[in-house]
Structure 1
Amino acid sequence: MRLGTGIGWRPEIADVVERMPGIDWVEVVAENVCPGHLPESLLRLRERGVTVVPHGVSLGLGDADRPDAGRLTALAERTAALGSPLVTEHIAFVRAGGPLTASPRLEAGHLLPVPRTRDALDVLCENVRIAQDALPVPLAVENIAALISWPGEELTEGQFLYELADRTGVRLLLDVANLHTNHVNRGEDPAKALAELPLEAIAYVHVAGGFERDGVWHDSHAHPVPRPVLDILTDLASRVAPPGVLLERDENFPEPAEMEREVEAIRQAVTAGRTTAPPHSAPATSDPSAQGTGAAGGGEAGGALGGSRDAARERLGLAQAAVLSSLVAGTPVPEGFDRVRMGVQARALAGKRADVVAKVAPELPGILGDGYRQAFLGYAQGHPMTGGYRRDALDFAGRLLGERRVEDPAVRRALREWWLERSGPVPLSRRPVVRVARAARKVLLRKG
Structure 2
Amino acid sequence: MERLGTGIGWRPEIADAVERMPGIDWVEAVAENVCPGHLPESLQRLRTRGVTVIPHGVSLGLGGADRPDEGRLTALAERVEALGAPLVTEHIAFVRAGGPLTASPLLEAGHLLPVPRTRDALDVLCENVRIAQDALPVPLAVENIAALIAWPGEEMTEGQFLYELADRTGVRLLIDVANLHTNHVNRGEDPAKALAELPLEAIAYVHVAGGFERDGVWHDSHAHPVPNPVLDILTDLASRVSPPGVLLERDENFPEPAVLEGELEAIRGAVEKGEKGRAIRDEAAAEAVGAAVVGTVAPATDPARQRLGLAQAALLSALVAGTPVPEGFDRVRLGVQSRALAGKRADVVGKVAPELPEILGDAYRAAFLAYAHGHPMTGGYRRDALDFAGHLLLAGRLEEEGRARRELREWWLERSGPVPRSQRPAVRVARAARRVLLHR
CA distance in 2, matches of 1:53, 1:330: 38
| Counterpart for residue 334 of structure 1 | 326
Query: Is the contact between residue 169 and residue 296 of structure 2 (CA under 8 Å) also seen in structure 1?
Result: no
Residues 1:442 and 2:438 aligned together: no
Matched residues in 2 for 1:239 and 1:347: separation? 38
Structure 1 stretches of 4+ moved >2 Å: 276-288, 296-301
Q: Secondary structure at the match of 1:426?
A: coil
Q: Please state if 1:382 is matched with 2:345.
A: no
Paired with 2:48 and 2:294, the residues of 1 have a C-alpha distance of 40
Q: C-alpha distance in 1, partners of 2:261/2:43?
A: 19
1:371 aligned residue: 363
Match for residue 302 of structure 2?
Answer: 310
Q: CA deviation at 1:284?
A: 6.0
Any idea what SS the aligned residue of 2:60 has? coil
Residue 204 of structure 2 aligns with an amino acid whose one-letter code is A
Indicate conservation of the 8 Å contact 1:8/1:248, yes or no: yes
Q: Give the corresponding residue for 2:65.
A: 64
TM-score, structure 2 length as denominator? Answer: 0.97
Match of 2:285 in 1: 282
Q: Within 2, Cα distance between the matches of 1:432 and 1:344? A: 48
Pair 1:181-2:173 in alignment: no
In 1, Cα distance between equivalents of 2:144 and 2:194: 11
Report if aligned partners of 1:93, 1:112 keep a CA contact under 8 Å in 2: yes
- Once the two structures are TM-superposed, the CA of residue 58 in structure 1 deviates from its matched residue by 0.4
Q: Where does residue 352 of structure 1 map in the other structure?
A: 344
SS at match of 2:439: helix
**Distance change (3 Å), C-alpha of 1:42 and 1:392:** same
The question of 1:108 aligning with 2:109 is answered yes
Q: Match of 1:5, as an amino acid?
A: T
User: What's the secondary structure of 1:320's corresponding residue?
Assistant: helix
Post-superposition offset of 1:297: 3.1
Distance (whole Å) between structure 2 residues aligned to residue 285 and residue 312 of structure 1: 32
Per the alignment, do residues 442 and 214 of structure 1 end up closer, same or farther by CA in structure 2, a change over 3 Å counting?
same
The Cα of 1:4 is off from its aligned counterpart by: 0.2
Normalising by structure 1, we get a TM-score of 0.95
Q: Distance in 1 between matches of 2:289 and 2:261?
A: 39
Alignment correspondent of 1:249: 250
Find the counterpart in structure 2 of residue 291 from structure 1: none
Q: Distance in 2 between matches of 1:279 and 1:342?
A: 43
Q: CA deviation at 1:277?
A: 6.0
- 1:446 is displaced (CA, Å) by 1.2
**Structure 2 residue 399 is matched with structure 1 residue 417:** no
Give 2:28's aligned residue: 27
- Given the superposition, is the C-alpha separation of residues 135 and 277 from structure 1 closer, same or farther in structure 2, using an over 3 Å criterion? closer
Note the 1:170-319 alignment, pairs <5 A.
170-276=171-277, 281-282=284-285, 285-286=288-289, 297-300=293-296, 305-306=299-300, 309-319=301-311
Q: Which residue is equivalent to 2:167?
A: 166
CA distance in structure 2 between the partners assigned to 1:348 and 1:441 by the alignment: 49
| 3-state SS, counterpart of residue 105 of structure 2 | strand
- Mean Cα deviation higher: 155-164 or 268-277: 268-277
Question: What secondary structure sits across from 1:282 in the alignment?
Answer: helix
Kept in 1: contact 2:241–2:278 (CA 8 A): no
Indicate conservation of the 8 Å contact 2:240/2:278, yes or no: no
Q: How much does 1:55 deviate?
A: 0.1
Q: Distance in 1 between matches of 2:396 and 2:346?
A: 20
Query: Matched residue of 1:152: which SS?
Result: coil
Aligned match of 1:391:
383
TM-fit CA distance, 1:137: 0.3
RMSD, aligned CA: 1.3
CA distance in 1, matches of 2:278, 2:135: 42
User: The residue matched to 1:37 in structure 2 has which SS?
Assistant: coil
Q: Which blocks of at least 5 consecutive residues in structure 2 are unaligned?
A: none
Residue in structure 2 matched with residue 84 of structure 1 by the alignment: 85
**Aligned partners of 1:61 and 1:93 also within 8 Å:** yes
Shift of residue 122, structure 1, vs aligned partner: 0.2
- For these two proteins, the number of residue pairs brought into alignment is 436
- How far did 1:276 drift? 3.4
